[in-house]
């Protein structure tokens, strides 16, 4: 009798999970018609998790390896020596040395910006930190800590951590909910679950939406985010776009708006990893709807607007890495409206980061492999 009851409960649980898993329609990602027009050329191996990439000039590409190393690819070859002077990072789980971005006036001031899971700040644990430094003789010099997320906690996931400048020179960066979804994303008393905006020197713009709120963290630009790992500036409008990981389903693309609440976890198109419901709501007054969402999740990472005429079929659209399915996703745009998506380079691996060379070539950082260049087939 006990065994029969136990089996009945197991069957009921599996049935519930199956129903929840089917609660959202599955989106099929078709192969892009241009897939045969381009191929991948391996540039460099030896970088285990190429989390972020930035071109200093036409010869030099800096690549962050999440385990805490900063590497230089010069003239298409990985320099054996690692860059010295990197910050101390907590290399565990999803933490480590994360994104990298150049100052808009890099040619004049030489500033390079990094995000990482750091020990700065009060309390035990770690959180997302932002630092800037200059690069000289394979060493980071003139390091300045600009921001450290509060509070420190001991979870090792959801650091978010993409960095992007807009046309006005403001620096945007993301911090995921740090695994504390019921506390952080909807509260303006915490840095986690937010996209922040600061000046390039770390000061807070007075035009930030919560600057005059007494108890709110003034750097917060938008909130209600889960774990944004993609961020890019629209080349024409100058507006910041981002994408973020949902749970099981519900990865999102969002146009970032000042003071906006993107709803996590009060609204979502995803469910828990075990198949149970997070919330019955996918929309609510006062909360933003995603400009696009994926069910099932693609595990997006990296984000780049394609502007080069080297890729005419992709020009004007967005490239996004899919770590879960191991391919590149081409997100189709009509102005500011997402109209569809397709996949290219099936089986390449976990596409972690994207960067555009000054000449327009697109580069992909792939976990466990290294860095590829996208080249047209002759």
What does the pLDDT look like over 324-333, one tens digit per residue?
999 999 999 9
Question: Does the annotation count 158 as an active-site position?
Answer: yes
Arithmetic mean of pLDDT, 153-166: 97
353: pLDDT strictly greater than 70 = yes
Arithmetic mean of pLDDT, 222-245: 97
Give the 3-state secondary structure percentages of the chain, helix then strand then coil, rounded to 5. 5, 40, 55
Burial of 285 by CB count in 10 Å (0-12 exposed, 13-18 middle, 19+ buried)?
exposed
Dig out the tokens for 293 from the structure.
């969402």
More confident residue, 5 or 139: 139
Helices (H), ranges, 86-154: 106-109
Cα 333 to the center of its chain, rounded Å: 19
Which CATH code fits 299-378?
2.40.10
Q: Which of 158, 196, 243, 317 is catalytic?
A: 158
Give the model confidence (pLDDT) of 251-309 as tens digits: 999 999 999 999 999 999 999 999 999 999 999 999 999 999 999 999 999 999 999 99
Give the model confidence (pLDDT) of 38-71 as tens digits: 999 999 999 999 999 999 999 999 999 999 999 9
Instruction: State the sign of the Cα–Cα–Cα–Cα dihedral 202, 208, 210, 213.
Output: positive
Start-to-end CA span in the chain (Å) = 70
Which pTM does this prediction carry?
Answer: 0.93
- How far is Cα 113 from Cα 134, in angstroms, rounded to an integer? 9
Dig out the tokens for 231 from the structure.
């961020």
Query: In the chain, what are the domain boundaries?
Result: 299-378
Mean pLDDT across the chain, nearest whole number? 93
In sequence order, what are the beta bridge partners of 44? Answer: 371
Per-residue pLDDT band for 25 (boundaries 50, 70, 90) equals: low
- How far is Cα 25 from Cα 242, in angstroms, rounded to an integer? 23
Burial of 197 by CB count in 10 Å (0-12 exposed, 13-18 middle, 19+ buried)?
buried
Per-residue pLDDT band for 27 (boundaries 50, 70, 90) equals: confident
- How far is Cα 79 from Cα 77, in angstroms, rounded to an integer? 6
Closest CA to 150 of 181, 126, 186, 132: 126
- How far is Cα 239 from Cα 75, in angstroms, rounded to an integer? 32
């Amino acid at each position: 009798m006990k065994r029969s009851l136990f089996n009945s409960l197991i069957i009921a649980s599996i049935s519930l999970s199956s129903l929840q898993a089917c609660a959202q329609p599955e989106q099929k990602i078709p192969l892009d018609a241009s897939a045969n027009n381009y191929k991948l050329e391996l540039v460099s191996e030896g970088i285990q998790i190429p989390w972020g990439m930035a071109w200093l000039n036409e010869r030099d590409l800096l690549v962050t390896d999440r385990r805490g190393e900063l590497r230089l690819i010069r003239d298409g070859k990985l320099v054996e020596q690692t860059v010295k002077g990197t910050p101390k990072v907590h290399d565990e789980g999803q933490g480590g040395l994360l994104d990298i971005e150049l100052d808009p006036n890099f040619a004049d001031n030489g500033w390079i910006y990094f995000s990482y899971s750091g020990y700065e700040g009060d309390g035990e644990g770690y959180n997302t930190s932002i630092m800037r430094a200059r690069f000289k003789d394979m060493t980071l010099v003139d390091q300045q800590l600009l921001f450290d997320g509060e509070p420190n906690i001991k979870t090792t996931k959801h650091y978010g951590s993409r960095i992007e400048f807009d046309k006005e020179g403001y620096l945007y960066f993301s911090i995921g909910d740090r695994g504390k979804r019921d506390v952080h994303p909807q509260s303006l008393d915490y840095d986690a679950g937010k996209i922040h905006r600061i000046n390039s020197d770390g000061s807070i713009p007075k035009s930030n939406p919560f600057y005059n709120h007494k108890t709110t963290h003034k750097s917060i630009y938008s909130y209600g985010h889960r774990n944004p790992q993609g961020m890019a500036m629209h080349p024409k409008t100058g507006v910041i776009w981002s994408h973020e990981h949902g749970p099981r389903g519900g990865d999102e693309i969002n146009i970032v708006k000042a003071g906006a609440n993107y709803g996590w976890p009060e609204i979502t198109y995803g469910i828990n990893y075990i198949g149970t419901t997070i919330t019955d709501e996918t929309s609510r007054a006062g909360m933003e709807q995603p400009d696009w969402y994926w069910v099932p999740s693609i595990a997006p990472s990296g984000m780049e607007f394609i502007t080069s005429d080297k890729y005419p079929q992709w020009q004007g659209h967005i490239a996004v890495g899919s770590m879960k399915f191991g391919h590149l996703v081409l997100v189709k745009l009509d102005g500011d409206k997402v109209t569809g998506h397709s996949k290219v380079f099936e089986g390449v691996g976990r596409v972690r980061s994207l960067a555009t060379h000054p000449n327009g070539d697109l580069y992909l950082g792939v976990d466990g492999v290294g860095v590829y260049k996208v080249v047209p087939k002759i």
